């Protein structure tokens, strides 16, 4: 065996090292990096939102300040004014302006993206909106996989009756245009965070099942599965230990795509007024809230549009990059 | 091929039965709630009970289901609570409007997506492919409710070319169709194009394309006669399944532009608890979606000789 | 073998110092290095070597079709005096398919699935000749289909590829190549994907057409026997280089390169006496392209390696003065004394078999197939039976090797499945160590029972789960069969198993993708022997491996079997290999056993007509062998609708009449334990001459011929 020495170096790798090596492969796809940066940006914002709030870098999302401030305008307060969410009287928390036209007034920060009709800071609402969507979307996606993977494994491996029944259930659900299904479910259950997750899970699980079923049907004919069968392994072991780990590549790629779509869905429900209840910021809700004023104040609507699209784009690019990398060698 | 189609038709009928049962259970199992929705929250319990008995809601659920399905089959969906007219009177004109919108969108999406998809897939990894692919990812990342405001700002606010709403109160205006169609095309185009690209790229690596090239055929002939037909088999099934997504987008787009279509109707009904309208819209949308699948099967069979000639 | 003293025309193709590389993320990977070749009109040159030696790359380079990441980095390819690299795209197009045509390995994949075959054929004249009408093109296509001996060309013209069999598809591809009457034909493993009896027909056809059309041919194959049957000259390639080149008879009889010698040592020859000429594996494995050693690429595997000489500069080709045109890439070409070289071969020692372990009687396996077509509904024939196994009966004893031989669709894999309990028999008994397991599915067998009957699989690339380490996969088997349960003992047992299959203990921590095909197959053997089995079913365990590696794996399997006195059921399509390792042979056709007996009995008359055809179809890489040519006509019938009477009657060259079509043949006992299922009387079968005959060549070995006409050019 001439290659023993050569292969020795790569023989000893723990699972963690291999995972990071896999992530590192992504650097070979420019598209993938762009996606990762976009996603990471919003994830960081969402995670650190409360820290920023404590540091005074963000305003509380539901506090009402000055309505209709254009983007990049400064928050100038008259002495004696007080605002909920500023944490105290203007004199204490803001800095006194000592020269210029606003001399004697107080500078309390900048509305980077302006304020909405009600006078809430858009940038802060955007960041807390990210927090909200990045809480609900992963839960809904994971829930869809938790339901879809076992169904797909069972249908793809057992075939026959099991497959017929599971596929039939899937087909019935997939026969609905997704938004119709959401509208029907939400109008029966009412709109709440849990119901949004439920609806998304119900609508996405059949799609997950189809993908997992396809991969399983391919993998079940591999000889290592055959070997496991000939040594009488129990069903769960064949499905979870022999088949599932080898399906992880396409599943991860699909999960990224699906995450993007779930974000779109949650946004759409918010947009249609069927989603998460106000007043907490929700991107879809923000888009629809002031769209009647779109001609007069376009930024109020456009800003959340761009935010949502950029996060979805991030996941889509990430999926594309991962697929590109996984198809190599 | 006949056998294949017959089998698919039976499968689709089964799916339709499943859908109708699911819908019925979702919306009509709680009849007390139904009575409240129909008669209003302030109606007297006696009035509700009377209404329920008169309309046969105290019968067994199986009887009610078959009565309902029977009605649906002959186009009787019941009375709209809000409009106070038979559901079908509201439904059909709305559906016609939506068909116009959807038809225009498909008429644009299919040729555009196939053209750019084939162009990108012809030489995988080339600059042209990368530009098209990334553009497609970009457009599919902007959902209808985000692109609609953006386009409105551009075409209505800046350029002042098009009307911002499409309710057409003063009769049909073609300008009012432009934005809704554009919004839907943008979102739907990318997915079909990417599918076509993937399929084309895969076909280009097959051995029979190598055979065709090494037979000495001109590149044009290799693409048009050998690659194209095989590459279109996969996207064809996608295009028709796409109708499902299109219908989803239609709800949002119609809502945004106040277009008097059937998506907007469904949404109104849902927000106002107009159960019979919801039922009718859901059933109709599923019929359209499932019917389109049958069409896609026909096309699939026509393109693929393995199905056509078993 | 092709007639020896044919005269050839002018040089049509010449490769001069050709170097081809692929460019990957890891950098430039040389695929072909310093390749020289001259091909004359009407001549046939073979390129032979194991996978990754660059032989297919040469063909694609001649076609100037190396893809986006491949390119010619040195030397040139000259076609009729013109450097092909300098031709324009349009000039190349005119050559391709017109003057230079190619035949491919996978006929099914090479034909457009959604275009009628007639149209695919007609394209050739339509796009290469001016003024050809559709009707003329169609007529020519039909004509050429007839000349490749396809029955009913008109029907083939209007068929799609999936409607005809693999052998017929390959004939269509050949017809397509011949349509423009090319002067150069490139054949890239044209029969590798086909069954051996089908292969024989295609090889015959190619040889015949080459002579009729006087086409120059480059024949690429890993099979030395095929090269002998089809070629005038041969280039033996190893890891991107030609290591030996010359006339076929010179290279086959007087090889000088240690690799060529090694390659011949690895191939089983059905005619040879297995004790006099044992299989000799080459140690080690092919170097990966980016890990080639300095100097001679074969150095690390060579018994004659000399440090300081073989591992220095690149080795040039040396011409052999006594045989013009025969050259070899070895620095020690004239100093090795082959007469004293006696490497240790695979042991062929015969062991006394023990008591009977396996007893199969009248086993049947039918699969039900539901036909949902309307026609079936009307006729009421909803269920059809696939008769995968029909009345199988044979026995096997302890430490005996029983080979089950047959082509695709003969039911050998179904038999394995039933034995392992993945399927249950429809009828009959399978008595294993005293218990009938015919209807015992694997779930109902005890771990001990399961462990005592295990399997080695065919495909090294998916026999191991890519997600788990080698060690954990072996440990799982040990625990599952209850051999050991204490973690330390399990670990020790894993190490013992790796030792057993001669793999370093370090491999326990590796993942399958870090192993080569041969190494994976060794792990597969270790896994099968983990539960101390008394019976191992090996389903084509080496058919996917390169010959040099296959010989080593075969040897290992036999050694372990002897050591443990295990019964081995060796399923194979390769009669030559079977001859080396089996004690008994069972020949199957379409789910039926047609002949069984000891190895010597099956390989000598009386034969079943199918065995006879099978034997004659195996290409043999030995110039001293002469064999009968029996080409089977027709296509393999479907198991859904097998022929009545004798299953072989539709293709049998010795069919005696209606009885073959109406009655199941009786089992004739030729001698004790040698059964033949045939209607032909035993005396007649005994009178048949042996298929393979060793001819004594000692008096006719030709002295090196004087320079032939073509060599002067």
Sequence-separated (6 or more) residues with CB below 8 Å from residue C493: C474, C478, C483, C484, C530
The CA distance from A32 to the nearest CA of chain C, in Å, is 17
**Per-residue pLDDT tens digits for B149-185:** 999 999 988 888 888 788 777 778 888 899 999 999 9
Which value does ipTM take for this structure?
Answer: 0.89
- CA gap C674, C608 in Å, rounded: 11
- CA gap C637, B265 in Å, rounded: 61
The CA distance from A83 to the nearest CA of chain C, in Å, is 59
Mean pLDDT of chain C: 86
DSSP-derived pairing of the beta strands C44-48 and C216-221: parallel
Residue C632: the pLDDT is 86
Q: Which two tokens stand for residue C630?
A: 């029996």
The CA distance from A160 to the nearest CA of chain C, in Å, is 12
Residue C625, helix vs strand vs coil:
strand
Q: Which residue of C has its CA nearest to A231?
A: C450
Among the residue ranges B22-36, B99-113, C227-241, C537-551, the one predicted with the least confidence is B22-36
pTM score of the predicted model: 0.87
Residue C386: the pLDDT is 82
**Per-residue pLDDT tens digits for A210-235:** 999 999 999 998 999 999 998 888 99
The chain C residues in contact with chain B (CB within 8 A) are 63, 65, 68, 93-98, 101-102, 104, 106, 109-115, 123-124, 127-128, 160, 162-163, 173, 176, 372-374
Does the beta-carbon distance from C445 to A245 stay under 8 Å?
no
Residues 96-135 of B with CB under 8 A from C: 125
The CA distance from A286 to the nearest CA of chain B, in Å, is 11
Query: Which is more confidently placed, B180 or C69?
Result: B180
- Asked if residues C54 and C240 have their Cβ atoms less than 8 Å apart, the reply is yes
- CA gap B167, A293 in Å, rounded: 17
Query: Which is more confidently placed, C490 or A326?
Result: C490
What are the counts of helices (DSSP H) followed by strands (DSSP E) for chain C? Answer: 23, 26
**Per-residue pLDDT tens digits for B71-85:** 888 888 888 888 888
In the β-sheet with C356-370, what is the strand arrangement from edge to edge?
A: C383-397, C356-370, C427-432, C435-436
Sequence-separated (6 or more) residues with CB below 8 Å from residue A233: A242, C480
Query: Which is more confidently placed, C68 or B109?
Result: B109
Does the beta-carbon distance from C454 to A230 stay under 8 Å?
yes
Is the pLDDT score of C631 beyond 80? yes
In DSSP terms, A111 is beta-bridged to A73
Chains in contact with B via at least 3 Cβ–Cβ pairs below 8 Å:
A, C
Q: Which residue of A has its CA nearest to C419?
A: A230
Does the beta-carbon distance from B251 to A317 stay under 8 Å?
no
Structural domains of chain B, ranges and CATH numbers in brackets = 2-73 (no CATH), 87-303 (1.10.3720.10)
Closest CA relative to residue B300, chosen from B221, B255, B234: B234
The CA distance from C490 to the nearest CA of chain B, in Å, is 46
Residue C411: the pLDDT is 85
- CA gap C149, C33 in Å, rounded: 39
Long-range contact list for C316-324, CB < 8 A, 24+ apart?
Answer: C317/C36, C317/C242, C317/C245, C320/C246, C320/C256, C322/C704, C323/C246, C323/C247, C323/C250, C323/C254, C323/C704, C324/C704, C324/C707, C324/C711
Which of C456, C459, C462, C498 would you mutate first to test chain A, the one with the most A CBs within 10 A? Answer: C462
Closest CA relative to residue A79, chosen from A121, A107, A60: A107
What is the average pLDDT across B15-33?
86
Of the candidates B164, B248, B278, which has its C-beta nearest A177's C-beta? Answer: B248
- CA gap C15, C9 in Å, rounded: 17
The CA distance from A150 to the nearest CA of chain B, in Å, is 22
CA dihedral B80, B86, B91, B93 (to 10 degrees): -130
Across A151-190, b (16+ Cβ under 10 Å) vs e yields bbbbbbbeeeeebeebbebbbbbbbbbbbbbbbbbbbbee
CA dihedral C511, C516, C519, C525 (to 10 degrees): 80
Among the residue ranges B237-246, C151-160, C190-199, C594-603, the one predicted with the least confidence is B237-246
**Per-residue pLDDT tens digits for C324-354:** 889 999 888 888 887 777 777 777 777 788 8
Does the beta-carbon distance from A295 to B19 stay under 8 Å?
no
Q: Which residue of B has its CA nearest to C65?
A: B214
Query: Which is more confidently placed, C130 or C712?
Result: C130
Residue C670: the pLDDT is 86
Q: Which residue of A has its CA nearest to C450?
A: A231
Of the candidates B15, B267, B273, which has its C-beta nearest A171's C-beta? Answer: B15
In the β-sheet with C27-40, what is the strand arrangement from edge to edge?
A: C27-40, C11-24, C70-79, C82-83
Does the beta-carbon distance from B146 to A308 stay under 8 Å?
yes
Rg of chain C (C-alpha set): 27
What is the average pLDDT across C124-151?
89
Size of the A and B interface in Cβ pairs below 8 Å: 141
Does the beta-carbon distance from B249 to A298 stay under 8 Å?
no
Closest CA relative to residue A49, chosen from A40, A39, A60: A60
Using left for φ > 0, alpha for ψ between -120 and 50, and beta otherwise, residue C71 falls in: beta
Does the beta-carbon distance from A232 to C301 stay under 8 Å?
no
Among the residue ranges B179-183, C22-26, C611-615, the one predicted with the least confidence is C22-26
Q: Is A188 on the interface with B (CB under 8 A)?
A: yes
Burial degree of B171 (CB within 10 A; 0-12, 13-18, 19+): exposed
Among the residue ranges B165-179, B256-270, C388-402, the one predicted with the least confidence is B165-179
Name residue, tokens 């709680």: B30
Chains in contact with A via at least 3 Cβ–Cβ pairs below 8 Å:
B, C
Does the beta-carbon distance from B244 to A176 stay under 8 Å?
yes
Q: Which residues of B touch C96 (CB under 8 A)?
A: 213-216
Residue A165: the pLDDT is 93
Does the beta-carbon distance from C115 to B214 stay under 8 Å?
no
Of the candidates A28, A232, A246, which has its C-beta nearest C442's C-beta? Answer: A232
Does the beta-carbon distance from B137 to A320 stay under 8 Å?
yes
What is the average pLDDT across C2-13?
73
Burial degree of C713 (CB within 10 A; 0-12, 13-18, 19+): exposed
The CA distance from C429 to the nearest CA of chain A, in Å, is 19
The CA distance from C298 to the nearest CA of chain A, in Å, is 11
- CA gap C265, C233 in Å, rounded: 20
Does the beta-carbon distance from C480 to A233 stay under 8 Å?
yes
Which of A33, A183, A185, A202 would you mutate first to test chain B, the one with the most B CBs within 10 A? Answer: A183
Does the beta-carbon distance from B6 to C102 stay under 8 Å?
no
What are the counts of helices (DSSP H) followed by strands (DSSP E) for chain B? Answer: 14, 0
């Amino acid at each position: 065996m001439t290659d023993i020495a050569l292969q020795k170096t790569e023989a000893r790798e723990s699972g963690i090292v291999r995972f990071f090596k896999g992530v590192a492969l992504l650097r070979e796809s420019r598209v993938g990096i762009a996606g990762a940066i976009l996603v990471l940006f919003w994830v960081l914002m969402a995670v650190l939102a409360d820290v920023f709030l404590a540091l005074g870098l963000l305003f509380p999302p539901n506090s009402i300040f000055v309505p209709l401030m254009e983007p990049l305008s400064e928050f100038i307060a008259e002495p004696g004014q007080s605002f909920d969410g500023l944490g105290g009287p203007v004199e204490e928390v803001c800095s006194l302006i000592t020269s210029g036209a606003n001399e004697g007034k107080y500078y309390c920060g900048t509305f980077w993206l302006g304020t909405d009709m009600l006078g809430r800071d858009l940038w802060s609402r955007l960041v807390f909106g990210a927090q909200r969507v990045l809480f609900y979307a992963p839960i809904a996606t994971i829930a869809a996989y938790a339901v879809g993977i076992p169904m797909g494994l069972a249908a793809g491996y057992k075939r026959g009756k099991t497959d017929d029944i599971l596929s039939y259930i899937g087909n019935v659900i997939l026969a609905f245009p997704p938004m119709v299904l959401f509208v029907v479910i939400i109008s029966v259950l009412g709109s709440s965070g849990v119901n949004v997750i439920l609806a998304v899970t119900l609508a996405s699980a059949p799609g997950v099942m189809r993908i997992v079923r396809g991969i399983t049907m391919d993998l079940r004919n591999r000889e290592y599965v055959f070997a496991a069968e000939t040594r009488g392994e129990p069903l769960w072991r064949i499905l979870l230990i022999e088949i599932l780990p080898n399906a992880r590549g396409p599943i991860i790629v699909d999960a990224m795509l699906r995450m993007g779509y779930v974000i779109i869905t949650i946004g759409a429900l918010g947009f249609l007024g069927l989603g998460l209840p106000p007043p907490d910021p929700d991107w879809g809700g923000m888009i629809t809230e002031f769209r009647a004023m779109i001609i007069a104040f376009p930024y109020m609507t456009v800003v959340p549009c761009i935010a949502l699209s950029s996060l979805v784009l991030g996941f889509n690019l990430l999926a594309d990059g991962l697929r590109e990398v996984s198809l190599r060698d | 091929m006949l056998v294949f189609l017959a089998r698919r038709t039976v499968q689709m009928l089964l799916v339709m039965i499943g859908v109708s049962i699911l819908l019925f259970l979702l919306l009509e199992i709680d009849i007390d709630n139904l009575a409240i929705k129909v008669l209003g929250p302030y109606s007297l319990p006696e009035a509700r009970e009377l209404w329920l008995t008169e309309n046969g809601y105290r019968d067994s659920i199986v009887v009610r289901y078959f009565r309902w399905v029977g009605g649906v089959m002959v186009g009787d969906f019941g009375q709209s609570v809000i409009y106070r007219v038979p559901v079908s009177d509201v439904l059909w004109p709305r559906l016609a409007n939506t068909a116009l919108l959807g038809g225009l969108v498909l008429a644009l999406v299919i040729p555009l997506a196939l053209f750019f998809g084939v162009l990108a897939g012809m030489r995988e990894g080339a600059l042209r492919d990368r530009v098209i692919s990334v553009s497609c990812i970009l457009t599919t990342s902007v959902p209808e409710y985000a692109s609609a405001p953006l386009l409105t700002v551009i075409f209505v606010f800046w350029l002042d070319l098009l009307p911002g709403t499409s309710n057409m109160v003063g009769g049909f205006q073609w300008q009012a169709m432009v934005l809704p169609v554009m919004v839907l095309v943008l979102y739907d185009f990318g997915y079909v194009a990417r599918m076509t690209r993937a399929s084309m790229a895969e076909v280009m690596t097959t051995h029979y394309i190598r055979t065709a090239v090494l037979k000495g055929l001109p590149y044009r002939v290799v693409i048009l006669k050998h690659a194209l037909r095989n590459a279109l088999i996969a996207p064809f099934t996608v295009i028709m399944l796409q109708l499902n997504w299109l219908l989803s987008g239609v709800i949002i787009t119609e809502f945004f532009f106040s277009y008097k279509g059937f998506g907007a109707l469904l949404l109104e009904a849902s927000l106002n608890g107009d159960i019979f309208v919801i039922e009718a819209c859901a059933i109709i949308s599923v019929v359209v979606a499932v019917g389109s699948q049958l069409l896609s099967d026909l096309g699939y069979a026509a393109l693929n000789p393995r199905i056509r000639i078993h | 073998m092709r007639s020896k003293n044919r005269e050839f025309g002018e040089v049509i193709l010449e490769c001069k110092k050709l170097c081809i590389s692929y460019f990957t993320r890891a950098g430039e990977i040389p695929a072909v290095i310093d390749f020289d070749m001259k091909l004359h009109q009407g001549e046939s040159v073979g390129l032979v070597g194991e996978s990754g030696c660059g032989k297919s790359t040469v063909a694609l380079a001649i076609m100037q079709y190396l893809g986006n990441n491949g390119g010619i980095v040195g030397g040139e390819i000259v076609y009729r005096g013109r450097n092909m690299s300098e031709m324009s795209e349009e000039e190349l197009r005119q050559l391709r398919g017109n003057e230079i045509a190619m035949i491919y390995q996978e006929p099914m994949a090479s034909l457009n699935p959604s275009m009628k075959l007639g149209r695919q054929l007609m394209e050739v004249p339509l796009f290469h000749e001016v003024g050809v009408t559709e009707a003329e093109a169609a007529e020519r296509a039909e004509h050429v289909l007839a000349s490749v001996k396809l029955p009913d060309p008109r029907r083939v013209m209007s068929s799609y590829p999936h409607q005809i069999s693999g052998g017929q598809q390959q004939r269509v591809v050949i017809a397509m190549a011949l349509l423009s009457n090319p002067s150069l034909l490139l054949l890239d493993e044209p029969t590798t994907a086909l069954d051996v009896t089908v292969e024989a027909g295609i090889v015959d056809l190619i040889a015949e057409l080459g002579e009729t059309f006087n086409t120059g041919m480059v024949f690429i194959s890993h099979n030395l026997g095929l090269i002998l049957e089809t070629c005038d000259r041969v280039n033996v390639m190893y890891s991107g280089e030609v290591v030996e080149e010359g006339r076929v008879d010179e290279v086959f009889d007087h090889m000088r390169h240690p690799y060529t010698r090694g390659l011949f040592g690895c191939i089983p020859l059905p005619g040879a006496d297995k004790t006099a000429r044992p299989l000799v594996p080459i140690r080690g494995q092919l170097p990966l392209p980016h890990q080639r050693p300095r100097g001679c690429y074969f150095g690390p595997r060579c018994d004659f390696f000399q440090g300081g000489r073989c591992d220095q500069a690149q080795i040039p080709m040396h011409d052999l003065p006594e045989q013009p045109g025969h050259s070899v890439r070895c620095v020690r070409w004239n100093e090795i004394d082959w007469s004293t070289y006696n490497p240790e071969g695979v042991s062929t020692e015969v062991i006394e078999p023990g008591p009977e372990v396996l007893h199969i009687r009248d086993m049947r396996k039918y699969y039900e197939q539901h036909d949902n077509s309307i026609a079936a509904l009307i006729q009421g024939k909803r269920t059809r039976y696939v008769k995968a196994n029909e009345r199988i009966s044979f026995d096997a004893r302890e430490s005996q090797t029983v080979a089950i031989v047959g082509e695709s669709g003969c039911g050998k894999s179904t038999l394995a499945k039933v034995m392992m309990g993945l399927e249950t028999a429809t009828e009959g008994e399978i008595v294993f160590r005293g218990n009938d397991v015919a209807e015992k599915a694997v779930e109902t067998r005890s771990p001990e029972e399961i462990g005592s009957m295990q399997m080695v699989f065919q495909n090294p690339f998916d026999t191991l789960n890519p997600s788990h380490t080698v060690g954990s996969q072996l440990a799982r088997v040990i625990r599952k069969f209850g051999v050991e349960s204490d973690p330390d003992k399990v670990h020790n047992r894993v190490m013992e198993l790796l030792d057993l299959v001669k793999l370093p203990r370090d491999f326990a921590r590796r993942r399958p993708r870090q192993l080569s095909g041969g190494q994976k197959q060794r792990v597969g053997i270790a896994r099968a022997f983990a539960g101390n089995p008394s019976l191992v079913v090996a389903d084509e365990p080496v058919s996917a491996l390169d010959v040099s590696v296959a010989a080593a794996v075969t040897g290992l399997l036999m050694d372990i079997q002897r050591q443990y006195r295990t019964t081995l059921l060796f399923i194979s399509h390769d009669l030559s290999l079977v001859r080396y390792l089996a004690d008994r042979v069972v020949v199957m056709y379409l789910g039926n056993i047609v002949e069984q007996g000891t190895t010597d009995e099956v390989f000598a008359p009386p034969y079943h007509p199918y065995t006879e055809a099978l034997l004659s179809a195996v290409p043999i890489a030995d110039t001293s062998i002469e064999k009968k040519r029996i080409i089977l006509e027709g296509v393999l019938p479907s198991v859904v609708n097998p022929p009545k009477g004798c299953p072989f009657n539709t293709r049998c060259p010795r069919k005696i009449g209606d009885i073959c079509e109406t009655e199941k043949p009786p089992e004739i006992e030729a001698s004790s334990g040698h059964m033949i299922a045939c209607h032909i009387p035993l005396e007649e079968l005994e009178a048949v001459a042996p298929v393979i005959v060793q001819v004594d060549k000692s008096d006719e070995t030709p002295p090196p011929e004087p320079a032939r006409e073509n060599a002067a050019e």
